[in-house]
Structure 1
Amino acid sequence: MEKMEKPLNPPEYTPHPQHPPPLGFVPPQPHVQTTTVVMEQAVHFGPKCQNVTCPQCRHQILTRTESKSTTRTHLYALLLCLFGCWPCVCIPYCVDSCMNTDHYCPNCNAFLGTYQS
C-alpha cells in the first residue's frame, strides 16, 4: 500500500520590520459586512384620511382613521364637571379637536401614525 502525503499549506507570512513581503504576496483582507438601509419618507398625518404608500404592504392607499380619547380629553371633561358644567361633560368626547386621530392601512390594518391636535 502506497502512503499518500497530504499537501502542506504554505505558512502564513508574518511581516518582519527589516524584510519586505515576498513578491506577489497579497495581505489578507478583513471581512466587510454590508448593510442595506431603506429610508422611509416621514409622513405628517392630519385629522383627515390621507393618500400614502403603506410601509408594510407597499400599496398606495387612503388611510382609515379612528378618533381616540386621550388623557387630555378626560381632563377637559373633568374641568367642565368641576366648574359646574356637568351637562357639557360629553362635549370633549364628541369633538375631534379634543382627541387624537390614528391612521391605519385598510389593506393590512397596519398602524401608520397619529395626528395630535
Structure 2
Amino acid sequence: MAEKEPPGTTVVIHGGNYGPSSQQVVCPNCHNRVYTVVKAEVSRRTHIIVILLCVFLCWPCALIPYCIDSCKNKNHYCPSCGSYLGTYYN
C-alpha cells in the first residue's frame, strides 16, 4: 500500500504526466523548482479538424479550431531556463 505524502510536500513530475494547466516541477535542466509555463500550440490534430470541417462543407467555421485552446497541445516550459519539459495531448 502506497504511503501518503506529508502535508506541504511537492510531488515532482517526470515524463509525460503533464496536465492542461501549469504544474510545479523540478526542471531537469536548471534544477530549479518552478511552475511550468504552458503554451497552447497548433498540432496535427488541429489541422485534421480544420480539414474535416472543410471537407464536410463547414468551411465558414473551418478556422475556429486555430482559435480554441482545447484543440491544441499544451507544451510545458521552464520559466527559468526556457527548456521544454513535456506536452499534454488532448
Q: Normalising by structure 1, what TM-score?
A: 0.62
Aligned mates of 2:78, 2:14 — CA distance in 1: 16
Aligned partner of 2:20 in structure 1 is 47
* Cα distance change of structure 1 residues 63 and 41 upon mapping to structure 2, 3 Å threshold: closer
Aligned partner of 2:38 in structure 1 is 65
- The percent of aligned pairs where both chains have the same amino acid is 46
Letter in structure 2 aligned against 1:77: V
* Cα distance change of structure 1 residues 109 and 77 upon mapping to structure 2, 3 Å threshold: same
Q: 2:27–2:85: 8 Å Cα contact kept in structure 1?
A: yes
Establish whether residue 81 from structure 1 lines up as the match of residue 57 from structure 2.
no
Shift of 1:105: 0.3
Unaligned 5+ segments in structure 2 are 1-11
CA RMSD of aligned residues (A): 1.5
Aligned mates of 2:32, 2:23 — CA distance in 1: 13
Larger Rg: 1
Letter in structure 2 aligned against 1:103: H
Greater share of strand: 2
Greater share of helix: 2
Letter in structure 1 aligned against 2:76: H
Residues 64-100 of structure 1: CA distance to partner in whole angstroms, max 9, x if unpaired? 1111111111110011111111111112112222111
Secondary structure of the 1:73 match is helix
Structure with the larger RCO, 1 or 2 (CA within 8 Å, 6+ apart): 2
Letter in structure 2 aligned against 1:73: T
- Count matched residues: 78
Unaligned 5+ segments in structure 1 are 1-39
Secondary structure of the 1:97 match is helix
